[in-house]
């Protein structure tokens, strides 16, 4: 499971994690003599949860088999969506004590590292390993910054998934998953009027941000949504205002206790028959179908079904875990060997079935991906599929814009003022630093 959580400011836990990580990492400083040293590789990530830790272990074993002279150090730090890991990483980079490679969401989330000169471009690595042919062209375009590529995507998650309870829809007289935002609002009203169930389950505040990106995509369409993240984007446009008004209407049908639970609780409400709908990324599938104690052991088509979130069929709103090459990596040769593993067909096919995601590469072994993952694999590789980046999960919003949007959504949850929300989002775009 992904374990998504909002990227909050420093916490006491983060400070404690920093102290511990620096004490046990054994990295000291980079003396500048790393060169192409391949004797070791320290891989820094937040893959500590069920599934993702198993996937990392599978890649580690394959890496060690291919690189018998290289010691692999797993420097993973627990914390949802990398919240704690990123805090520790920021301090290490500031103190010029980088790991050999670190995890980051592909896309604009890496801009701070790029602008600070903390990671190297990987264009020559892509050329040497023929990765521009292995990855979809649209993906290459969306992770390129000023003509250069700075990370190696390992997987693809889908953000725009509607999970629903088929029994509740039947009781509400709803024939199937709503195809448009207007249909969605109608369906939410039907659930409220005809059943005693929650129409749309929501969790902690970040799940409201996640819902926002889905409504924007569903109302605006792929091209207009993607244009929002380009310089000079017009967030004050009437079409954006209409989407935000729909968002406000949809929020009326969500759970009142939303702030008290995270995404797992909101998703669980659907498979437990307490809520009709939940819009969440596809890491929810692993949670639903996984075995106890970390999974719910639920059955697809019985306890739950899925569809593209309303208005987004044919578009894959993506996010990706990727790895980088820090400048001054102590064991640069080891880092490049790790990036080769992370970008390889073998590495991605070992990792992704366990993680509950699909490979970023186009040539993966389709037979390894079952159930929802087979659907996701086919959608990702479908000719003509449109790609949209998830702003909440790091693709197309800088860290500053990401924080400013979260602040705007938080204020909206209190005042319910669509005009103020739109003005705040326009201001966040103008001051994004991209």
Cα separation, 102 vs 393, whole angstroms? 17
Contact 336, 125 (CB under 8 A): yes
What residues pair up with 104 in beta bridges, in sequence order? Answer: 322
Q: What is the CATH number of domain 12-158+318-389?
A: 3.40.190.10
Tokens 């028959």 belong to: 273
Across-strand partners of 304? 300
Q: Candidates 3.40.50.150, 3.40.50.920, 3.40.190.10, 3.40.50.10490; correct CATH number of 161-317+393-430?
A: 3.40.190.10
Other CB atoms within a 10 A radius of the CB of residue 10 amount to: 12
pTM: predicted TM-score of the whole model, two decimal places: 0.86
Which two three-digit tokens encode residue 330? 């102590």
CA atoms within 13 Å, Cβ hemisphere of 282: 32
CA-wise closest residue to 310 among 285, 273, 279, 281: 279
Q: 155, 360 in Cβ contact below 8 A? A: yes
Beta-sheet pairing, 155-158 with 358-359? antiparallel
Cβ neighbors of 132 (< 8 A, separation 6 or more) are 126, 140
Tens-digit pLDDT string for the chain (434 aa): 444 443 332 233 333 333 343 333 334 334 334 468 999 999 999 998 878 898 999 999 999 999 999 999 999 998 655 668 888 999 999 999 999 999 999 999 999 999 999 999 999 999 999 999 999 999 999 899 999 999 999 999 999 999 999 999 999 999 999 999 999 999 999 999 999 899 999 998 999 999 999 999 999 999 999 999 999 999 999 999 999 999 999 999 998 666 667 888 999 999 999 999 999 999 999 889 888 888 899 999 999 999 999 999 999 999 999 999 999 999 999 999 999 999 999 999 999 998 889 999 999 999 999 999 999 999 999 999 999 999 999 999 998 999 999 999 999 999 999 999 999 999 999 998 76
**Residues constituting the chain:** 434
Domain ranges of the chain: 12-158+318-389, 161-317+393-430
* Integer Cα distance of 53 and 58 in angstroms: 9
């Amino acid at each position: 499971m992904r374990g998504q959580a909002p990227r909050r400011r420093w916490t006491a836990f983060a400070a404690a994690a920093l102290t511990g990580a620096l004490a046990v990492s054994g990295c000291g400083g980079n003396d500048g003599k790393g060169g192409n040293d391949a004797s070791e590789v320290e891989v820094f990530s937040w893959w500590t949860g069920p599934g993702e830790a198993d996937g990392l272990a599978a890649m580690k074993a394959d890496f060690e088999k291919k690189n018998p002279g290289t010691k692999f150090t797993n420097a993973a730090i627990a914390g949802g969506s990398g919240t704690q890991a990123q805090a520790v990483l920021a301090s290490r980079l500031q103190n010029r004590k980088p790991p050999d490679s670190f995890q980051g969401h592909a896309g604009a989330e890496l801009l701070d590292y790029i602008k600070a000169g903390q990671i190297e471009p990987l264009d020559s690595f892509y050329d040497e390993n023929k990765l521009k042919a292995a990855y979809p062209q649209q993906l290459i375009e969306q992770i390129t910054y000023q003509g250069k590529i700075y990370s190696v995507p390992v997987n693809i998650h889908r953000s725009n998934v509607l999970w629903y309870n088929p029994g509740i829809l039947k009781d509400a007289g709803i024939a199937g998953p709503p195809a448009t935002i207007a249909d969605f609002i109608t369906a939410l009203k039907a659930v409220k009027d005809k059943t005693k169930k929650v129409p749309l389950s929501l969790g902690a505040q970040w799940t409201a941000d996640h819902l926002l990106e889905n409504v924007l995509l569903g109302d605006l369409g792929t091209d207009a949504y993607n244009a929002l993240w380009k310089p000079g984007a017009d967030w004050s446009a009437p079409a954006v205002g209409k989407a935000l008004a729909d968002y406000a209407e949809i929020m009326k049908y969500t759970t009142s206790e939303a702030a008290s639970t995270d995404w797992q609780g909101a998703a669980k409400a659907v498979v437990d028959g307490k809520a009709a709908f939940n819009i969440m990324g596809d890491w929810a599938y692993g949670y639903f179908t996984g075995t106890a104690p970390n999974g719910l052991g639920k059955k697809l088509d019985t306890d739950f079904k899925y569809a593209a979130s309303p208005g987004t069929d044919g578009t894959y709103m993506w996010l990706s875990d990727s790895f980088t090459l820090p400048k001054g990596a102590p064991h640069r040769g080891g880092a490049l060997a790790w990036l080769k593993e992370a970008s390889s067909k073998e590495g991605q096919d070992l990792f992704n079935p366990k993680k509950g995601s699909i490979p970023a590469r186009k040539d993966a072994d389709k037979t390894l991906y079952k159930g929802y993952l087979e659907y996701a694999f086919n959608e990702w590789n479908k000719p003509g599929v449109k790609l949209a980046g998830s702003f909440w999960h790091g693709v197309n919003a800088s860290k500053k814009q990401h924080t400013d949007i979260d602040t705007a959504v938080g204020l909206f949850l209190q005042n319910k003022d669509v005009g103020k929300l739109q003005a705040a989002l326009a201001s966040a775009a103008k001051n994004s630093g991209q």
